[in-house]
């Protein structure tokens, strides 16, 4: 709230217009999460190792969040070489944990 250019003749807390257009990231996220659900639902019976499906979900969710955050307007960390946002760093962590869980699930269940 309070960001952007004031709209002439408007009174209230929501009377600002953003200078640049933004993507409808919530819509993109719903579409991608629905696709993730369909994929996970279709492979659920093929996976027999406990924790492996959750690891696959974490990988997909990490990739989805990273892609969404790349088009979202957020504060970037200037100190790192590729200038990620905080959400992108968290999504990379999700991806790494998902990879480890997926490929080590059999060892972890013993």
pLDDT of residue 62: 96
Strands (E), the chain: 5-6, 16-17
Assess contact for 85 and 36: CB atoms under 8 A: no
Residue 36 burial (C-beta neighbours within 10 Å; 0-12, 13-18, 19+): middle
- Name which of 69, 74, 72 is nearest 94 in CA terms: 69
For 76-92, b/e burial (b = at least 16 CB within 10 A) is: eeeeeeeebbeebeebe
Residues 6+ apart with CB under 8 A from 67: 32
pLDDT of residue 2: 61
pLDDT of residue 68: 93
pLDDT of residue 17: 80
CA angle 10–16–19, rounded 5-degree value? 135
CA angle 38–26–90, rounded 5-degree value? 80
Q: What value does the mean pLDDT take over residues 5-14?
A: 84
pLDDT of residue 3: 72
Tens of pLDDT, residues 45-100: 999 898 999 999 999 999 999 999 888 877 777 777 778 888 888 999 999 999 99
Q: What band does 31 get if pLDDT is binned at 50, 70 and 90?
A: very high
């Amino acid at each position: 709230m309070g960001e952007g250019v004031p709209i002439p003749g408007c009174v209230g807390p929501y009377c600002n217009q953003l200078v640049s257009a933004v993507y409808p990231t919530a819509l993109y996220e719903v579409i991608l999460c629905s696709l993730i659900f369909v994929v996970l639902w279709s492979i659920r019976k093929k996976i027999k190792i406990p924790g492996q499906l959750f690891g696959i979900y974490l990988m997909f969710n990490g990739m989805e969040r990273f892609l969404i955050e790349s088009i979202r307007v957020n504060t970037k960390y200037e100190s790192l070489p590729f200038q990620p946002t905080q959400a992108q760093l968290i999504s990379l962590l999700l991806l790494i944990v998902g990879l480890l869980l997926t490929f080590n699930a059999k060892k972890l269940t013993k």
